[in-house]
Structure 1
Amino acid sequence: MVELVSAHPSGGYILEELHVGMAAEKIVDVTEDRIRLFAEASDDFNPVHLDEAYAAKTAYRGRIAHGLLSAAFGSAVVGTMLPGAGSIYVSQTLAFHYPVRIGDQVRIQITVVGVDAESARVELNCEGFVEGRLIMDGIAVVRVPRRRKPANR
């Protein structure tokens, strides 16, 4: 069962607060500006993302957003909501199923599917949807802060 949570009041959940089934969502609008800024930040100026005349001649029949732009929306959820501040990506698998276009709204859902107390890592199912259709998914492994042990005095 999925339990939708909001961002922790402190900015991030610690390991001891996380459990399987916790989930967080974010909806992000894909805009011309986001695509342009992502191209500049990533140095990926592939014309399928930026040039309508070029993209119209491809199998996509028009411009599409960078796949990793949608994945970055997932990173935003991991870094700011679940687990939140202090979490560090260890690994991420991704599969892209459908293209995302300017004007689409991407709904990202991140769900805790495993907690490893020994390594202070959580496994997260990462999914992106446009109009209910799964556009990408994968598994992230993220290191999260533990509750601090009291100092010996």
Structure 2
Amino acid sequence: MKPRSKRLVLVGGGVALLVAAVALVLNAFQQNLVFFHTPTEVVAGKAPSGKTFRIGGLVETGSIRREADGITVRFAVTDTAKTIPVSYRGTLPDLFKEGKGAVVQGRLEADGTFRATEVLAKHDENYMPPEAAHAVEQAHKAGATVAQ
């Protein structure tokens, strides 16, 4: 084989390896991508069915109920316009409270309950995830428009 042919084979092999590596990275990224939706979007059917996603908003006051097993907790997340019931099995963060911001990750069940696998709570008095803050702001604007 001529030196020029050897170089072409090596360059072609290197490009093929690079393309394969990029394809694997993009595939892994796509599988781990989790989208954020508001309760209003979920009720409107804009959330993916059968896939993991996040819901953010406020924990509805008076909605936290602990099951007899001591591990399962039921509560509701609202953006002040719509409310989604959530069921979570596990330990809640210390800062998780009614009326405070939270983001839950999981899947929407056929009965409309959001089965959470992870619960994230705000970290101080002024913090709310940007997506949840935007959702609450949009819901307030929509409510003000309807009230007029």
TM-score (norm 2): 0.32
Q: Greater strand percent: which structure?
A: 1
TM-score (norm 1): 0.32
Larger radius of gyration: 2
